[in-house]
Amino acid sequence: MAVIITGAYFDMNSIGDRAAAWDIVECGLDHTTDIRDVTNFGSAGWKESLASLQGATVRVSVKDANALLDDLWALRSGSTGNAVTFEIRETNAAVSATNPSFTGSCLIGALSPVSVRVGEEHANQYTFTVTGAVTRNTT
């Protein structure tokens, strides 16, 4: 069964749900695990692998970047290169087993205050590198 998402929840540094204020059209959390080949002569002809380091990124696409940039600029200036917290959920409903929240800390690296093309809709995408673990919460 398909699910139509009508209201995601996105928060940075506990400033509250910014999905509507930032005019977010897409947000997501991408989690990766490096896989290392540990095959050796004792592997009996089979490849062997081990999970290694984990990492994640948070991405946000917005139609109008002005409100987002106001908040991010303040967060970046206030954090002076330190990590800020984030929370992301599929819907803006309360956290539950069917609407878990994912929380952690991320770095605000590059910001593009101006990035426009003539005759096209103003839309920007931002990606933030997660530092440390991501936690899945259901309560």
Tens digit of pLDDT per residue, the chain (139 long)? 455 666 788 888 888 777 677 777 888 899 999 999 999 999 999 999 999 999 999 988 887 667 777 788 778 776 666 788 999 998 888 999 999 999 999 998 777 666 667 777 767 788 899 999 999 999 9
Residue 90: DSSP 8-state: S
Q: What are phi and psi of 43, to 5 degrees?
A: -80, 0
pTM for this structure? 0.78
| Dihedral class, residue 58 (left if φ above 0, else alpha if ψ from -120 to 50, else beta) | beta
